[in-house]
């Protein structure tokens, strides 16, 4: 825990090319995930897939709403043109 606090305090990932905090979080997650039974892993994968589909559908609904509103559609296309420059 002291190592974690030290990395946070000196902003380790800001001045080193290697993100130790991110690496440590990923390692902890992988260790936890590898310790799970197969049924739990399958459940988590299914839950993640469903959440991903819900997010995609929400984004698509937002785009459909923007496209259905003339004022928003115009602003959206202007923004896209600005970002392409």
Note the pLDDT tens digit of each residue in 53-77.
Answer: 999 999 999 888 888 888 888 887 8
- Model-wide pTM > 0.75: no
**Which letter does DSSP use for residue 17 in this model?**
S
What's the domain count of the chain? 1
Sequence-ordered list of residues with C-beta below 8 angstroms from that of 12, at least 6 positions apart, any chain: 6, 19, 20, 21
Q: Does 22 reside within a domain?
A: no
Q: Which two tokens stand for residue 47?
A: 């839950």
Q: Which two tokens stand for residue 4?
A: 């974690």
Q: Does 17 reside within a domain?
A: no
Q: What would the pLDDT profile of 37-53 be if each residue is shown by its tens digit?
A: 999 999 999 999 999 99
Q: Does 20 reside within a domain?
A: no
**Which letter does DSSP use for residue 18 in this model?**
S
pLDDT of residue 13: 55
Q: Does 25 reside within a domain?
A: no
Q: Does 2 reside within a domain?
A: no
- Look up the domain containing 60 and give its range: 39-85
pLDDT of residue 37: 96
């Amino acid at each position: 825990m002291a190592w974690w606090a030290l990395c946070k305090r000196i902003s380790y990932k800001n001045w080193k090319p290697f993100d130790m905090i991110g690496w440590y979080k990923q390692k902890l997650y992988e260790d936890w995930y590898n310790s799970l039974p197969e049924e739990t892993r399958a459940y988590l994968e299914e839950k993640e897939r469903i959440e991903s589909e819900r997010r995609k559908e929400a984004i698509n609904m937002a785009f459909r709403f923007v496209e259905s509103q003339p004022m928003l559609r115009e602003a959206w296309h202007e923004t896209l043109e600005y970002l392409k420059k």
